[in-house]
Amino acid sequence: MSPEFVVNLGKEAIFLMLLISAPMLIAGLAVGLGISILQAVTQIHEVTLTFIPKILAVSLALMIALPWMMQKMLDFMNLLMARIPVMAS
């Protein structure tokens, strides 16, 4: 197993992690930005106001994106399983 192979495998794993976490992070960012704008307009500066909408948005994004996320992880795992003979030599 060459160092280039290990670096490439790590790069693919990190990219997959970022790709899989993106829907929840984007949903949390969008809701947080919307609530922040609403707080700035109404001058209500309550820190705890953002928690419940963010939790709901991230949970909803997780439920919607979960089948896609599982498929991506399964594809990556199948790729790793197919590479085992290459890794062993």
Q: Does 84 have pLDDT greater than 90? A: no
- Tens of pLDDT, residues 23-58: 999 999 999 999 999 999 998 888 888 899 999 999
What letter does residue 46 receive in the DSSP assignment?
A: -
pLDDT at 12: 95
Nearest of 60, 75, 69, 78 to residue 22 by alpha carbon: 69
Contact 12, 76 (CB under 8 A): yes
Q: Does 72 have pLDDT greater than 80? A: yes
Q: In angstroms, how far is the first alpha carbon of the chain from the final one?
A: 7
Mean pLDDT of the chain: 92
What letter does residue 43 receive in the DSSP assignment?
A: T
pLDDT at 3: 86
How far apart CA 79 and CA 43 sit, in angstroms, is 52
Residues present in the chain in total: 89
